[in-house]
Structure 1
Amino acid sequence: MDNINNNGIDKKVCDACEAKVIDSKTLPECSNESCEPIGKSGPLVAKIPVVIAEPKIQIDVKAEIKLDEPAFEIKRIKKNLFLTQCKLLSVWDDKHEKCKQGKLFIGGFVRKNIEYATVDSKCADKGCISGDIRHTTCNIPFECVTLVDFINPPEIRKSGATSEVEVFTAKFNACDPCSEGIIGSDPCQQNFNHFEAFTEKVFCELEFAKIIEADIHKNPKPLVYSNPNEHIFEILEEKMVIYVKLKLLQNQQIKIPSCKD
């Protein structure tokens, strides 16, 4: 009885437990003082991000996932969406000489962590089923192209073509030193003009993502013939409807008037 403590627990079991509270403190509240932001008043010219468009996109995805072990049931699925591509190509309207729409190429993946219950073959009879909890994490890729309408059209600067500048000369005599001078373009010199303009890149921000899904057990097999309602499966078919809201931005030079204007 010397190995039993006051709570009726074996002292050897208590000594083997490494979990404990290392430290705990109650922190007092710190004081603060609100400060008024300091900024430059107008009129002024600033370069700031301007909202080009705010599309809400629907993406339909179908995927099949093979689990590492036969599953008895899905306990939980945790999902996170990530974008790996967000590229805008503006559609130029030659008639009105401006952009009203653009093609948006997006791509990414849904990271899915699937927790599922397995079945121990020794514990699958006599009315009770036991097993371990396992997990499988997969990245489900997706990509699509959508046409977006611009709230504010992006600023696009076009580069010019390379042009050659002819240099005049009146002193070129060709091969005959006694002939009169040839007046015209100087063949000994070539000048070129090249104009290259740069456009600010349109970048994306992910506002939110919403995923609606259905998980279908593929090719289920009965667990025990005495209870046909219970089954196991290895392949999970998923149908997902993904809603993604994006904000397309471009740095533009904006004139900000004064408060009196």
Structure 2
Amino acid sequence: MEKNQIVHSCDNCGKIISSQTLPLSSGTTIISAGINGPKVAKIPVVLGEREIQIDVEAVFKLNEPFFEIKRIKKNVYLTQCKLLPRSGVIAADGTLISGKLFISGFVRKNIEYATADCVEKEVVSGRIAHTTIDVPFTAVTEVVYAVPPVVNVRGAQTEIDLLNSCGCQDCTGTIIGKSGCEQYLEDNITFTESPYCELEGVRIFEDDISSDPLYHKTNSNVQLYNKVTEKMVIYIRLKVLQLQQVNIPYIRYCDSDCDE
């Protein structure tokens, strides 16, 4: 064996449990069929699209004092996106012009930072650690409708007074009037499809300021930090949709010699 050669022992290098090549399975192409002529489809309709600016300032601590932040990876998640369809502007003819949209969520941040485990006069050594935090946000915005939502309002309850000549006791025929023991009620309820949101895209601008400094006891030129003050501007692009019935007309395509 040559000098300075390093030999690694391996008790278990792993093994292949199974492997096989799968043949191509034959199949039959099926042509989709549908009804001819004008159609009525229930499909998602875009009520409006909005890019919302949310400004957030947060202060947080990492798992331990840190020397430097190396990288921050971010993702945005929505926990609420609720439209109040009749809470905005309504035209004189009753047409819905806009509605208020309530959104909530959080920015999940995976922060990679450097520690200072070993500090000498001219050298700082440490680990690359990470902490994941969720920074919450809440906002309200107004969505101008490209297509008004379909909203069905519950009708007023109606009551029918029943005539009864017997009352609720003896049927003597001496009392004629409204029945006191029977009511006839009518309610008119038409349900509304609930609008929902789709998250289209996100832009995030941020400034992270290390704060609450600590000076290392063996080297006063090495400064550690306990906290991070974060200022974020988040732009969230949303689509608000609702299932609606849409008429799809039949379009006839003719050659130049078609009769008009």
- Output the TM-score relative to the length of structure 2: 0.81
Structure 2 counterpart of 1:10: 6
Aligned residue pair count? 249
Structure 1 counterpart of 2:98: 101
Q: State the secondary structure of the residue aligned to 1:54.
A: strand
Identity of aligned residues (%): 43
Letter in 2 for 1:235: K
Structure 2 counterpart of 1:143: 138
Once the two structures are superposed, what CA deviation does each residue of 1:126-164 show, in whole Å capped at 9, x if it has no partner?
A: 311111111111111111111110110100001112111
- Counterpart check, 1:254 vs 2:246: yes
What do you get for the CA RMSD once the two structures are aligned?
A: 3.5
Q: How is 1:1-261 mapped onto 2 (pairs within 5 angstroms)?
A: 1=1, 9-11=5-7, 14-16=8-10, 38-40=32-34, 41-91=36-86, 93=90, 95-120=92-117, 123-169=118-164, 184-223=177-216, 228=221, 230-260=222-252
Relative distance call for 1:66 and 1:50 in structure 2 (3 A) is same
Once the two structures are superposed, what CA deviation does each residue of 1:54-85 show, in whole Å capped at 9, x if it has no partner?
A: 11111111111111111111111111111000
Instruction: Report how far residue 207 of structure 1 moved.
Output: 0.6
Residues 80 and 105 in structure 2, CA contact (< 8 A), matched pair in contact too:
yes
- Output the TM-score relative to the length of structure 1: 0.81
For structure 2, the residue ranges without an aligned partner over 5 or more in a row are 254-260
Q: In structure 2, what is the Cα distance between the partners aligned to 1:176 and 1:51?
A: 62
Q: State the secondary structure of the residue aligned to 2:86.
A: strand
Residues 57 and 243 in structure 1, CA contact (< 8 A), matched pair in contact too:
yes
Q: In structure 1, what is the Cα distance between the partners aligned to 2:15 and 2:58?
A: 45
Relative distance call for 1:89 and 1:34 in structure 2 (3 A) is farther
For structure 1, the residue ranges without an aligned partner over 5 or more in a row are none
Q: In structure 1, what is the Cα distance between the partners aligned to 2:28 and 2:236?
A: 37
Relative distance call for 1:58 and 1:36 in structure 2 (3 A) is farther
Q: In structure 1, what is the Cα distance between the partners aligned to 2:188 and 2:65?
A: 65
Relative distance call for 1:117 and 1:204 in structure 2 (3 A) is same
Relative distance call for 1:22 and 1:213 in structure 2 (3 A) is farther
Letter in 1 for 2:241: L
Letter in 2 for 1:10: I
Letter in 1 for 2:110: N
Instruction: Report how far residue 94 of structure 1 moved.
Output: 6.7
Relative distance call for 1:259 and 1:237 in structure 2 (3 A) is same
Instruction: Report how far residue 176 of structure 1 moved.
Output: 10
Residues 125 and 224 in structure 1, CA contact (< 8 A), matched pair in contact too:
no
Relative distance call for 1:109 and 1:153 in structure 2 (3 A) is same
